[in-house]
Amino acid sequence: MNPRRKKRLTLAVALIAGVAAVASLLLYALNSNLNLFYTPYEITHGKNDTGVMPEVGQRIRVGGMVTVGSMKRDPNSLHVEFAVHDSAGGEIIVTFDDLLPDLFREGQGIVAQGVLVESGKLEATEVLAKHDENYMPPEVAEAMGQKHEKPEYSEKQAEGYKY
């Protein structure tokens, strides 16, 4: 083989190996930071279309309503534990060791992000509460089976917005 051709072949193989290494590291990083959205029912019974259940140790987001009467606070720390349920009948326990949002309360829609520590128990790193009684994140609204629409204005209200 010609030395010039051998040098080109070595360079091409090195370039392909480098691109493959970068791509595999990128995919690994993206996979470890991926957090999928689940409802409490899907955590305990699996996704409706695929039957896939989250694994223990997986980072996930869960959305639903805080079960009334389920909140337990530790009087000596910020640790709080509460149940989250959905309309399909699923319920999981969420633990959180930080300040809850000001709008958080029982009977409220929330989204919690964290790690599944055991089947039916989530250790949350972040808890988000919906900001008023009319708004619900699209994922939670879809999971809860509710419609998610923009509010409609009457003609009189709309006239005030015309230019």
* Residue 127 and residue 94 in contact, taking contact as beta carbons nearer than 8 Å: yes
pLDDT value for 55: 86
pLDDT value for 153: 44
* Residue 36 and residue 54 in contact, taking contact as beta carbons nearer than 8 Å: yes
Query: What mean pLDDT, rounded, does the chain reach?
Result: 82
CATH 2.170.190.11 matches 36-148: no
Residue ranges at the known binding site for heme:
131, 135
Digit-coded pLDDT (tens) for 50-59: 788 888 888 8
pLDDT above 70 for 133: no
Digit-coded pLDDT (tens) for 5-27: 999 999 999 999 999 999 999 88
Mean of the pLDDT values across residues 50-72?
Answer: 89
The shares of helix, strand and coil residues in the chain, as percent rounded to the nearest 5, are 30, 25, 45
pLDDT above 60 for 162: no
Q: What residue segments make up the domains of the chain, in order of their start?
A: 1-34, 36-148
Residue ranges at the known binding site:
131, 135
pLDDT value for 102: 85
**CA separation for the pair 94, 156 (Å, rounded):** 45
pLDDT value for 15: 95
Mean of the pLDDT values across residues 35-62?
Answer: 85
pLDDT exceeding 70 applies to what percent of the chain? 79
